[in-house]
Structure 1
Amino acid sequence: MIRAGLLIAGLILLVGCASDPVSLNYYLLHSPVSEESASKEISDRLRIDKIRLPDYLKQRGLAMQTSPTTIFFSSQHVWAEPLAGDFLQTLSANLWQDQGIEVFSQNIYDKAQTTGVTLIIDDFIATHQSFVVLKGQYWLFPADGEPVSKRFFLRAEQQQDGFEHTVLQMRELIARLAQEMAQASRLLDSATPQS
């Protein structure tokens, strides 16, 4: 009996010493090293009122579609920050750097007479067909005028395997969405009668 107990304890110790801890890889959607120009001239302003992500994107692990009906969540490759906040930070940086659009978050500057934005993300994932897709809809709510709704489906072909390349492709898709939103905002501004 004692002999069996010592044997089991020895096996447990061997297994515990033999296994390496799982290392985690953390990913940021925004680029902390991208340069921002503080003295850039403001071409427009947007107020982001809401960003909604599907439940599968609220997980900590990065997701990848592995078949038409299944999604894999990585336990080793995880977001360093909640994705909704990181998405907003990346979108805001792209709107400012590439389009000259200053972005307010909701409740930051409520008195600003500016266009409000609600953004609903349906999908933001690497697919089993070697694409990264960003799909959803946004609404622009001008200070005076009717709201405008736009659906978008953006995709980028995967040139390499791996989560790091996927995150870089995701950044590019957000930059393309920012460009599309800026264009829609300018069209809305030109169509809205000035008082």
Structure 2
Amino acid sequence: MSKGWLVAMVLVLSACSSTAPKTYYQLPQPSVAAAGKTDLTAARTLWLSHVSLADYLSTSGLVYQTNDVRYVIASNNLWASPLEQQLQQTLQSSLNTGLPGWTVSSQPLGAAPSELAVTVKAFHGRYDGKAVVQGEWTLQRGDRLLRQPFNLVLRLKDDGYDALVTTLAQGWQQVAQSIAAQIQRSE
């Protein structure tokens, strides 16, 4: 009897202590075209001052919307580094590629750089198999101010968090391309 009790106790304790493994995700870095040296004294400069997130996105877990009003923050599917940092780095890299003749930096360079600020209000998966990337960006250039919303809803090609992260990254790349195009048009 005591042997059976011991085996049962070990099984119960091992079942309680086993947890699902944690999986970490990083947005893929956009491919960067080979570029020559840039003369920073002659280049136009863009200061990417910040990318800010809605509060519910400022967690380590990926976010999934389960119905019209409920959101779940994953506890085992996590961002490898803070999402805000990943979005800022990938946006800076994309803009450096998408704005030839510009230097895009996370620090102000020069006397009066143009300043870009981005607010991300949605960056999550949804119950209908789509990914949502939504927010707005503001460009301050001297005394001119340009504000532009973005709202992308993209269909996932597969199920699962890998497909979600890939689709969110594609949406973010589209936002970067749109920002670059608007900056070039506003010159």
Tell me, yes or no, whether TM beats 0.5. yes
The alignment's TM-score, normalised by the length of structure 1, stands at: 0.81
After TM superposition, the structure 1 = structure 2 runs for residues 71-110 of structure 1, keeping only pairs within 5 Å, are 71-100=71-100, 101-105=102-106, 108-110=107-109
Match of residue 22 from structure 2: 24
Q: How does 1:124-139 map to 2 (within 5 A)?
A: 124-139=123-138
Cα separation, partners in 2 of 1:129 and 1:21, compared to 1, 3 Å = closer
RMSD (Å), alpha carbons: 2.6
User: Which residue type is aligned with residue 82 of structure 1?
Assistant: P
Deviation string 1:105-126 (CA, Å, 9 cap, x unpaired) is: 1xx3443532101111111111
Please report how far the alpha carbon of residue 47 of structure 1 lies from its aligned counterpart in structure 2 after TM superposition.
0.8
Counterpart AA for 1:121: V
Please report how far the alpha carbon of residue 11 of structure 1 lies from its aligned counterpart in structure 2 after TM superposition. Answer: 4.3
Q: Counterpart in 2 of 1:166?
A: 164
Equivalenced residue count is 181
Deviations 1:52-76 (CA, angstroms, capped at 9, x unpaired): 1011111111111110011122111
Question: 1:154 — aligned with what?
Answer: 152
Q: Which amino acid aligns with 2:25?
A: Y
Separation in 2, partners of 1:125, 1:21? 24
* Residue type at the aligned position of 2:13: G
Residues 132-186 of structure 1, C-alpha deviations (whole Å, 9 max, x = no match): 11111111001x2311111111121112110101111111111111111111111
Q: Percent identity?
A: 24
Instruction: List gaps (5 residues or longer) in structure 2.
Output: none
For residues 149 and 138 of structure 1, what CA distance do their matches in structure 2 show?
6
* Letter paired with 2:46: L
| Aligned position for 1:141 | 140
Tell which deviates more after alignment, 34-43 or 153-162: 34-43
Q: 1:40 to 1:66 in 2, by over 3 A?
A: farther
For residues 131 and 84 of structure 1, what CA distance do their matches in structure 2 show? 21
Whole-Å Cα distance in 2 between the matches of residues 163 and 55 of structure 1? Answer: 21
Q: Per the alignment, in what secondary structure is the counterpart of residue 129 of structure 1?
A: coil
CA distance in 2, matches of 1:102, 1:12: 63
Q: Which segment is superposed worse, 113-122 or 19-28? A: 19-28
Mark the runs of 5 or more structure 1 residues left unpaired by the alignment. 190-195
Aligned residue for 2:144, secondary structure, equals coil
**Structure-2 change in CA distance of 1:170 and 1:45 (3 Å):** farther
